[in-house]
Structure 1
C-alpha cells in the first residue's frame, strides 16, 4: 500500500476499522460499536465496525492478523480468540500474532435457570443436584472453546462433579432451549441473560467470579457457597497486527482509554451488566496468557475439543 505523502507523521490518515469476529448483536459487537462513537472524536477519522463471523472467531481474527500493520485495522474480541482457539483448531495465527492494545470491558459469567423451576430455588439446590443426579444436569453453553464453555469446565472442577454439557452456536439458542425446558441451566455472560432476568423468565443462581453489583448484587459467588474459587469473568479487548509501529499502538491506547471513560461508552456497557475497564496492553496480554494456560490444561485432560 502506498502511504500518503507526510502520513508517517499524522497517524491515522484514513478510517479506523474495528473487526468483530462475531455476528452483529452480541456482547463483543455492542462493545465495539459503543467504542466507535467516542473514538471517532479522538482519532479525527471515521471508525467502522466490520463483522467477520465464522470459526468461533477465527475468521475475523485471521483477517486482522493478515492486515496492513499500520494501526488502521484492529480486532475487538475476547482473549479466547487468541488464547483458546489456536489450542483446539488449526488457525493461521498464534497467540502472539497480534499485539494487545487495551482492555475495554469485563462481564460477569453466571449460572442461570428458569425462574419457575421448583428444583433450583437456590444455588445450593443446583449444586446438590449436579452432585447427586446420575444422568447429569443438562447445562448449555455457547460452543466449544467459548468463555462460557471454559467456565463450565472450571465449574465442574470446583463442584467436583460432572454435568451433561450441551453445546450451542451462541448463547441465544441455549437460552431459548432453557426457557423452553429442553435443558436445565445455562452458563452465560450476564449481557445475554439480562433481558430474560429482568423480564422474569430466568433467574441468576451463582456468579462464577468475584461479587458483582447491579442486577447481580444479591447473587452468591462460588466462594460464598463454599466452593473452590475461580474467576470466569469475560473481558473484551482491542488488538492490532503484530508489526504495528509502537508509536501507533501507544496513540491508539491513549485514544481508546479516553473513549472508554466517556458516557457514550460507559452508559451502554453498564446497561448490559458489564463494567468499563480501560487498562492497557500489558493487562490484556496477561489475560491472553491465562487463556492459553487454561486451554492447554483442558486439552491435555481431553476435556476441550473443537467439536
Structure 2
C-alpha cells in the first residue's frame, strides 16, 4: 500500500524519466534523414533536358524517402545562379543540384562564379543523352544535314543557333561543331533549352543545339526535325539521323550527362542514403520509361562516376579556353 512519501518518490522518478525522454527527442529528430522535403534545384528554365530529368526523378524518389520532393528552377548565368544557390544551402542533404558536369567543370573556366567549383560534391549519375541539331520541320533551307553544314560554312555568322547558356553542354557542343565544320554561326544564349526551342518554333532563330530529351516532344508533334547527331549513332527517333562522321566531318562526342550534387560537407551517411534512393528511383518505370521515351538513357551510377565526368569537363574546357574557342557570352 502506497503512503504519501512513496507516492511522492514515484512521482519524482516518473518526472525524471519523462525529462530524460524529452532531452533525447531533439537528438533523435536530428539523426532522422530526411526530416523535411527534399528540394531539387534545376539551374535552367523549365522545359529543358535537365528539368525533365529532375521532375521525372521526383516522382519515384518521393515514394522512397517518405517526404515531398520539390523541383525548383533557378535559371541564369548558364547554370551559375542555381548552382550557387545549392552551394550556399545547408549541407544536410535536403537541397540538391540536378545539373550537368559543366556547372562544375566548364563554368569555372569562363566566368566569375558565386561559388567555388569544390563547393559541391557528386551524389549520383542520373542519365545520358544524345545531343542533336534541330531545325523547324518546314524550313526548306535545311532539308538535309549537308544543307545545314553548307549554310553554316557559307557566310560568317549566317546561321543563328540557340543554346542553353554560356558553358552549358549545348554551348560546348556548338563550339565543337564550329571547329569540326570550319564554320562560324551566330550563337544565341538562352536560360535553358526550353526558351531556345520556343524561339526556334516561332522563327526567331534558325536552329538549336539541344539534348534530344527536350526536343523529342516537338519532333513528335511535327514542329521540329533533327538534322544531325553530335556524337555516336543513336537509336529511336535518331536512327536515321546522320552523325558528323557520316557527313565526312571530324567527329566528337557531345553526349551529355545529368547528375545530382550536394553541398560540400553533407554528412557521408546522408549522401550514401541519397545515392541508394536515387539509384532505385532511376530504375523505376516512372523515371526510366519517361527518359527512354524521350530518347535518353537512365544510368543510376555512383557519385564517383559523376566526378570522373566533371574532371573530363575541366580538361576539355581548359583546353578550349586556351584555344580561344570557349568564352563567356
Unaligned runs of 5+ residues in structure 2 are 1-24
Question: Do structure 1's residue 247 and structure 2's residue 269 form an aligned pair?
Answer: yes
Question: Do structure 1's residue 235 and structure 2's residue 257 form an aligned pair?
Answer: yes
Question: Do structure 1's residue 191 and structure 2's residue 217 form an aligned pair?
Answer: no
- How many angstroms apart in 2 are the aligned matches of 1:182 and 1:252? 42
Equivalent position to 1:222, from 222, 227, 244:
244
Question: Do structure 1's residue 264 and structure 2's residue 269 form an aligned pair?
Answer: no
Question: Do structure 1's residue 80 and structure 2's residue 102 form an aligned pair?
Answer: yes
Greater share of residues in helix: 2
CA shift digits 1:262-299 (9 cap, x unpaired): 01111222233222111111111112122222222232
Contact 2:46 2:194 (C-alpha < 8 Å) held by counterparts: no
- SS state of the match for residue 5, structure 1? helix
Q: Name the CA shift for 1:91/1:134 in 2 (closer, same or farther; >3 Å).
A: closer
Partner of 2:50: 28
Partner of 2:120: 98
Partner of 2:322: 300
Contact 2:49 2:213 (C-alpha < 8 Å) held by counterparts: yes
Question: Do structure 1's residue 69 and structure 2's residue 91 form an aligned pair?
Answer: yes
Partner of 1:130: 152
- How many angstroms apart in 2 are the aligned matches of 1:50 and 1:172? 15
Say what the alpha-carbon RMSD is for the aligned residues: 2.2
TM-score w.r.t. length of structure 1: 0.90
Contact 2:45 2:194 (C-alpha < 8 Å) held by counterparts: no
Contact 1:95 1:288 (C-alpha < 8 Å) held by counterparts: no
Larger Rg: 2
Unaligned runs of 5+ residues in structure 1 are none
Number of residue pairs matched?
305
- How many angstroms apart in 1 are the aligned matches of 2:291 and 2:273? 23
